[in-house]
Amino acid sequence: MKIGALLSEIKGKQSRLSRLMEVSKETMYVEKGQDPKMNYKEVSKEISELIDGIRELKLKVMEVNLKSKLDNGMTLAEAILKVGDLRSQMGHKSGLIKYNRMNYYDIEDKKVQYTPQVKEKEIEEEIKKLSEEKVKLDNAIQKANWNIEV
């Protein structure tokens, strides 16, 4: 089985788990004298089994990610972490562009003037480079997910 297929299986199990947890909340209390729509113990058992199964599948994925190398020599695990790092950097830099310090304060009847340390255009260029790197890594990860056997 390819990593991508296993990840899809995990996602399906997580969806089932989420639905079961929600349904168990809705059916926990039963009108006096009525039979429950779902048996608490049976649902709890299935929830526990799903949680255990998901953990086992995730461990398989983690093991393969740590052992598998991309064409650039980076492990799949490292590439996944790097994508997260790039997203964080892009989010930070995007926030710098959005944050426009206004002349909010008057000090002794003088307006305080603010000027950026770096022009927005330079920050936008940095974001563009980070985005390009992220796209390349995303593509390499997707390629690996559908080529590497678990």
Q: What is the rounded distance in angstroms from the CA atom of residue 18 to the CA atom of residue 59?
A: 20
Sign of the CA dihedral 129, 130, 135, 138?
positive
DSSP H helices, 2-150, are 3-27, 40-67, 76-98, 120-145
**What is the Cα–Cα distance from 113 to 90, expressed in whole angstroms?**
27
pTM of the complete model beyond 0.85: no
Q: What is the DSSP letter of 112?
A: P
Judge contact between 82 and 137, C-beta under 8 A: yes
Give whole-number Cα distances, 11 to 44, 58, 64, in Å. Answer: 20, 10, 18
Q: What is the pLDDT of residues 88-109, one digit of tens each?
A: 999 999 988 866 655 555 566 6
The predicted model gives 120-135 an average pLDDT of 96
The tokens describing 13, both together, are 């199990």
User: Do the beta carbons of residue 137 and residue 90 sit within 8 Å?
Assistant: no
Q: Does position 114 have pLDDT exceeding 70, yes or no?
A: yes
Over residues 63-76, the pLDDT tens digits come to: 999 999 999 999 99
Q: Tokens 């080529």 — which residue?
A: 147
| Burial class (CB within 10 angstroms; exposed 0-12, middle 13-18, buried 19+) of 58 | middle
